[in-house]
Structure 1
């Protein structure tokens, strides 16, 4: 009888302790009815509230809205902590209330280990959730701004926060700032133009050696350079940032005149109103690729590592090579693949093609599951090396726009290179027309069907000269960015 009763008590112990592990407080109801019922009731109400919010807003949107709100994260951290403490207390109390009398030796050790394991099952994910919330809170505060840039379009209140905005344009700058360099020279300069309705995005690459850079009438530098920044090889796009920094007195109260002037110049080059900017330190880019576990990419041409061009035009300092073929590059090699211009037939333009190839490869590789496991390292890299002037309070709406890009939009690329423009004497009217056609492509025409004859292609048809339909050996035309490699 004693053995049978002890066996029943043992089964009861494991059953109720497991119940409190699955649903907080459930195993407490037999021994502490009111306490158990209150905990279970609160848990059920909380789950129902979360489900209702998820159904109303959408599961993905609900998670994102919490993840991009510093206020929501500040609330979530103590809430998760309290839930975890109450849950673990319920497990331990359930185990203590239902421990069989006279338990000792291995059976008691097994029950204690089971209780500890059950507590860890709750503690581990709760601790990880709080850790990620703290990291995310810090990331948002250090990477994003608190105020919207002057003149920038932005979301509004309502069902569709982008209803009043046709397009939003973001300048992406790869900065070469470092300990061994003075000032900042944009090593990579692109502008992403996003259709807020469809998510269709066009990425424009601006060459660093572009000359005769125009400034807007509102730019104080336009008085000193009424014909644009046009002093030959000393007045290239890559020097515009330094020009702004060297004339900071013309921009009182501006914390970053170099970025301001670069943004204005890029806007004039493309004929687009640039709303926001993202600046990444390219040394941090290597860390980002490593944090992502490397990048898989198809290398089209042999690329030297450690190389540079001396004043005589000779390539020196090569320490290795990235060979053609399908490769997995770590951060160091990915950075050289994206930056190296020595040894290429057309230098900067070859590098621009490789940079958009790298962007496409990284976009193809993004996997939410793997990114979550690598998130702490990714967040640290972003926090140290990336600055975005999108305001924190707009991040929820921006997350919705990103989902539109991922769900229904495509990302196309149109680089400005020596294959489609003259970088020494650029025709900005032509560039503006190319940009306009890229963001507002003409509607495809459907030929009329004839009831008697079948149309045949003419052998003397002249190919179109538009940027979306023209072709070159190097592929410097409007094309899907994920297929540029």
Structure 2
């Protein structure tokens, strides 16, 4: 048993004591080398977290780590078995022999964990190469990363794929403070920025009334791919992105499209979401029978029920639906903590295969991951462009842009757990727009989970709260 415990603490020492010394010396050197690498990694994390994140997003390094971990697991298991053999169990009484064998089986779980970690690293490498492409990372615009988040719906009975959920996440690159802007899929009369691709294709804008809604741009772009510049990978995405850029006044660096039909598998992979439901929400309806309800109160929703909660239309407005989608998004962000990612990475990676498309390159992952760590420690501010703030079918574009700028400025100037005596940093959003909000319009800005008693049907607080 002493030889087994020595192998657990310092692999190779059992062989130095009672076996082949050459094997013991080699194993001990390898083990000390591993400890040195871990110590250097920990020191580097303390000095420069971005450097560690850069290393962790290199495919070649993940492949090397995968091979090393698997070899370590096999070698360590062999050392345990050899230490058990060196203990001469055949000379022990039957009871002690069984106890020693039991100890060996338990201790073999340790190299098994190392091998399991190697498998997880391999899955991470596979997810990186399949999900994220190549190319140069985009620089932050005015100190912010702006990421377009689309929930695509290509379900039965629909022509083409249309993004039902259209949100723009604007994140301060230095502090991680985020603002989530929700745009109604029914937004009309969209005019594009001069010089953009869509301004060339639609000089008068996307302005044909009820037949020209924001979510219809994606289908139009794909149906008219031949009109776009050569090399455009996703014309529908480009059209939608340029529309949101024009609406918000912000430059969008990246986009992420999630197929809502597969969203349930992602939620199941993380173990479900905790949501406080404020209004009883039907499952079904709109041409199909109502098969049940998601009741009011604190609920732990699996993928099926969370997806219905986000998508249910029956008996509610599209604006309430938008708020529920933001609530599910916030709950998922909260659930994706380091512990969940570590323990369930394999199932998460598998569930996202084919369900998420993005133009984020691998070279951008380190910077975005560093910002994401900061974002987890901050509140997420939300703005929904719905009545009474604007009427999606009749609105002043300057109200939208000025509201975006005010929300960003408020987020940057707000209190932070890391705030210092130097006070808030200067706003980097002034360039978004200089137009003031017209008299009589009140930006519908709230902080998650929100408690505004006068909120409209798009208010997150009136619908649910995450976690």
TM category (shorter chain) comes to: 0.7 to 0.9
**Residues 293 and 477 of structure 1, relative CA distance in 2, 3 Å threshold:** closer
Q: Distance in 2 between matches of 1:256 and 1:76?
A: 34
Partner residue, 2:79: 90
Partner residue, 1:226: 203
Aligned-partner SS, 1:58: helix
Q: State the shift of 1:359 in Å.
A: 2.0
Partner residue, 2:455: 473
TM-score, normalised on structure 2? 0.84
Partner residue, 1:46: 34
Alignment of 1:28-47 (within 5 A): 28-31=15-18, 32-47=20-35
**Residues 278 and 341 of structure 1, relative CA distance in 2, 3 Å threshold:** same
**Residues 89 and 228 of structure 1, relative CA distance in 2, 3 Å threshold:** same
Q: Distance in 1 between matches of 2:405 and 2:64?
A: 45
Q: State the shift of 1:395 in Å.
A: 1.4
Partner residue, 2:2: 15
2:258 is the counterpart of 1:270? no
Q: State the shift of 1:482 in Å.
A: 9.2
Q: Which moved more, 1:60-69 or 1:358-367?
A: 60-69
1:363/1:482 contact within 8 Å kept: no
Aligned-partner SS, 1:172: strand
**Residues 224 and 141 of structure 1, relative CA distance in 2, 3 Å threshold:** closer
1:210/1:423 contact within 8 Å kept: yes
Partner residue, 1:73: 62
Q: Distance in 2 between matches of 1:99 and 1:175?
A: 64
Q: Which moved more, 1:263-272 or 1:366-375?
A: 366-375
Q: State the shift of 1:174 in Å.
A: 0.1
Q: Distance in 2 between matches of 1:378 and 1:268?
A: 34
Q: Distance in 1 between matches of 2:183 and 2:260?
A: 17
Q: State the shift of 1:236 in Å.
A: 0.4
Name the count of aligned residue pairs. 434
2:315 is the counterpart of 1:333? no
**Residues 28 and 172 of structure 1, relative CA distance in 2, 3 Å threshold:** same
Partner residue, 1:291: 269
2:46 is the counterpart of 1:58? yes
**Residues 477 and 73 of structure 1, relative CA distance in 2, 3 Å threshold:** same
Aligned-partner SS, 2:215: helix
Write the deviation string for residues 385-412 of structure 1: whole angstroms up to 9, x where unpaired: 11222111221222111112123x3211
Alignment of 1:84-483 (within 5 A): 84-99=73-88, 102=91, 105=94, 107-118=96-107, 120-148=108-136, 152-153=138-139, 166-178=143-155, 180-251=157-228, 252-308=230-286, 317-344=289-316, 347-407=317-377, 409-441=378-410, 465-468=442-445, 472-474=454-456
Structure 2 unaligned regions, length at least 5: 415-438, 447-451
Q: Distance in 2 between matches of 1:397 and 1:227?
A: 38
Q: State the shift of 1:476 in Å.
A: 5.3
Cα RMSD (Å) of the superposition? 3.0
Aligned-partner SS, 2:314: coil
1:220/1:250 contact within 8 Å kept: no
Q: Which moved more, 1:347-356 or 1:82-91?
A: 82-91
Q: State the shift of 1:123 in Å.
A: 3.2
Q: Distance in 2 between matches of 1:49 and 1:301?
A: 53
Write the deviation string for residues 129-148 of structure 1: whole angstroms up to 9, x where unpaired: 12111211111111112124
Aligned-partner SS, 1:29: helix
Write the deviation string for residues 209-249 of structure 1: whole angstroms up to 9, x where unpaired: 00001223334443453221111110001101011111100
1:420/1:476 contact within 8 Å kept: no
Q: State the shift of 1:323 in Å.
A: 2.4
Q: Distance in 2 between matches of 1:112 and 1:122?
A: 15
Aligned-partner SS, 2:353: helix
Q: State the shift of 1:342 in Å.
A: 2.4
Q: State the shift of 1:468 in Å.
A: 4.4
Q: Distance in 1 between matches of 2:201 and 2:361?
A: 33
Partner residue, 1:450: none
Write the deviation string for residues 63-91 of structure 1: whole angstroms up to 9, x where unpaired: 75554332221001111122223222322
2:258/2:355 contact within 8 Å kept: yes
1:248/1:257 contact within 8 Å kept: yes
Aligned-partner SS, 1:317: coil
Q: State the shift of 1:349 in Å.
A: 0.7
Q: Distance in 2 between matches of 1:19 and 1:443?
A: 56
**Residues 34 and 436 of structure 1, relative CA distance in 2, 3 Å threshold:** same
2:324/2:460 contact within 8 Å kept: no
Larger Rg: 1
